[in-house]
Chains A and B, each alone.
Chain A
Amino acid sequence: AQSVAQPEDQVNVAEGNPLTVKCTYSVSGNPYLFWYVQYPNRGLQFLLKYITGDNLVKGSYGFEAEFNKSQTSFHLKKPSALVSDSALYFCAVTWGNFNKFYFGSGTKLNVKP
């Protein structure tokens, strides 16, 4: 069955430290992977996606993510966290010509000053 897992409900990191938010997936074809961020009372904002090509993709606000096919992972990273990065992060996957996204359960990122 198709699925996305975000194994950590919450990630705590100090400002200025690197952050990683984990995502693993399971799909029957080549995956197309997305990261979205949700701030309170806002919608899901697109951060970045992997379609094909370079396994390291760069997105908004200094975030990047690495596609690892052998580990079926697409972890979100940032070299230096900001307090303003504190939010809920969602990983999503689709494949083929399907329109629907499968979402992970979300990871709350807390960046402390």
Chain B
Amino acid sequence: EPEVTQTPSHQVTQMGQEVILRCVPISNHLYFYWYRQILGQKVEFLVSFYNNEISEKSEIFDDQFSVERPDGSNFTLKIRSTKLEDSAMYFCASSVLGGRAGETQYFGPGTRLLVL
């Protein structure tokens, strides 16, 4: 069964450094998402992406965040200058379509980011 994959599984970085989290969505899916979960808190939506554009983003997704689909398979989340409060589990998800009622999103295993 196809799965969303994410690399790395864990990332430790120093405050102020740039990090890139990588995801490979399910191959026939067209919508891609990033969510994050700060320890002890809810899973929160960050951004959705379709047709090489951001289709929706949350207030969390400020200028220090960016997303890209650099090739036909990868989907990345870049954090330009990490802060301590960026420490979280980051989940990538994909769906066949989006922008319509109740499309199922399929999630990867997550990348645990620790900012020191």
Chain A interface residues (CB < 8 Å from chain B): 32, 34, 36, 41-46, 49-52, 90, 92, 94, 96-106
Contacts and interface: CB of A to CB of B under 8 A. Distances in A.
Contacts of B18: none
Interface of B: 3-4, 6, 9, 31, 33, 35, 41-45, 48, 55-56, 58, 91, 93, 95, 98-110
Contacts of B9: 41
A37 to B, nearest CB: 11
Contacts of A90: 43
B102 A100 contact: no
Contacts of A94: 102
B3 to A, nearest CB: 8
14 contacts: A41-B9, A43-B3, A43-B6, A51-B101, A90-B43, A96-B101, A97-B99, A99-B31, A99-B98, A100-B45, A101-B45, A101-B105, A102-B45, A103-B42
B7 to A, nearest CB: 13
Contact of B110 (A43, A45, A92, A102): A43
Contacts of A97: 99-101
Nearest to A100: B45
B35 to A, nearest CB: 8
A103 B58 CA distance: 14
Contacts of B95: 99
Given A43-B110, A100-B56, A100-B58, A105 B101 contact: no
Contact of B109 (A32, A41, A49, A106): A41
Nearest to A42: B109
Contacts of B93: 44
B78 to A, nearest CB: 20
A99 B107 CA distance: 14
Nearest to A3: B42
Contacts of B106: 46
Q: Which 9 A-B pairs have the closest CB atoms?
A: A32-B102, A100-B45, A44-B107, A103-B43, A51-B102, A43-B109, A99-B48, A43-B107, A99-B98
